Amino acid sequence: MAIAKAERLMNLALCLLGARRPLSKRELRESIEAYLEAGSDDSFNRMFERDKDDLRELGLVIETVENLDGEVGYLARRDSNRLPPITLDAEEAAALGLAAKVWQQARLAGAASGALQKLRAAGLPEDVDPYGAHSALEPRIPVHEAAFEPLMLACRDRRPVLFEYRKATAARPEPRHVEPWALECWRGHWYLAGFDRDRGAERVFRLSRITGKVRSRGTGFTAPVPDVVTVRETVASWAGEIADRSALIRLRSGAGYPLRAKAVKVRELGDGWDELEIPYGHGLDAWLVEFGPDVVVLEPAELRADVVDRLRAVAEG
């Protein structure tokens, strides 16, 4: 939601909640600056009706009544819009405390701490240990990438962004124009899922490979946002975690222990080399490149060609 609209909705909600009697459209227009700047009556009426519907969708109970002058008025009674008392058992309180602790290393630490203080003021037990018997363990979600906060806000506001992105095997970053959907942490790294406008397809980006500033580019999405964004599944597939094929490689003795851990068969070839059979999915070629001259792909031919192409691209860069 744009900041201007959010401010307008907040002002309208405060006017309706603070009124002791129903307020007419005219009175609301005179009380809210954004409505005074709306221009024509038709523009104001359309804006007001949209705002009223948005507030109702957010859960505000707005009554439509006639005031003493026979005009249609609007009122949001406090007793109709009061939240029920907050009641949390020990397990729920511990979960909230744990969630707040998770963000200690992020820019969200202040917001998480403030939210926890408000909940304690509303009745959250002070003496609840969020870790219980495992107090020596302190979970954290590390957020060191400068791109995290602007991308988080862009996902929230449904705002397209532009950034420079360097692929694992590319020598230089390339511009990406993305409609951001969701951020997710997987195995210590943050990933962004969204619609890549230049490529016309869904893409997942690792935040540590974003260079420079994340800049906003216009408003509104051109592609529908899926109900479920499977960031982890996509990254796992690209990283070869979801295996649907087998590769046969030669690996130098004493090297490539992560590859050996995945191998289903290992055979000594002599002369300082071993032969490994590895189940894999999409992305194995990028991983094998990291082992340089210690790995030679035997089968399949397309995987061997992909690895050779990546090595050439790195050498030429």
Q: State the average pLDDT over residues 126-142.
A: 50
pTM of this structure? 0.46
Domain 148-237 has CATH 3.30.300: no
3-class DSSP assignment, residue 309 = helix
Convert the pLDDT of each residue in 271-292 to its tens digit: 899 999 988 876 678 778 888 8
Torsion of CA 31, 33, 35, 37, to 10 degrees: 140
105 band by pLDDT with thresholds 50, 70 and 90: low
On the 0-12 / 13-18 / 19+ scale of CB atoms within 10 A, 12 is buried
Mean pLDDT (the chain, rounded): 80
d(C-alpha 225, C-alpha 238), whole Å? 21
Task: Give residue 196's pLDDT.
Answer: 93
d(C-alpha 101, C-alpha 131), whole Å? 10
> What percent of the chain shows pLDDT beyond 90?
16
258 token code pair? 């992560």
Domain ranges of the chain: 3-75, 90-134, 148-237, 245-316
Q: State the average pLDDT over residues 201-228.
A: 86
Convert the pLDDT of each residue in 40-61 to its tens digit: 888 888 899 999 988 888 888 8
Q: State the average pLDDT over residues 130-156.
A: 68
Judge whether 275 and 249 are in contact, CB under 8 Å.
Answer: yes
Residue 1 has pLDDT above 50, yes or no: no
For the ranges 168-182, 196-210, 240-254, the maximum mean pLDDT occurs at 196-210
Class (C level, CATH) for 3-75: mainly alpha
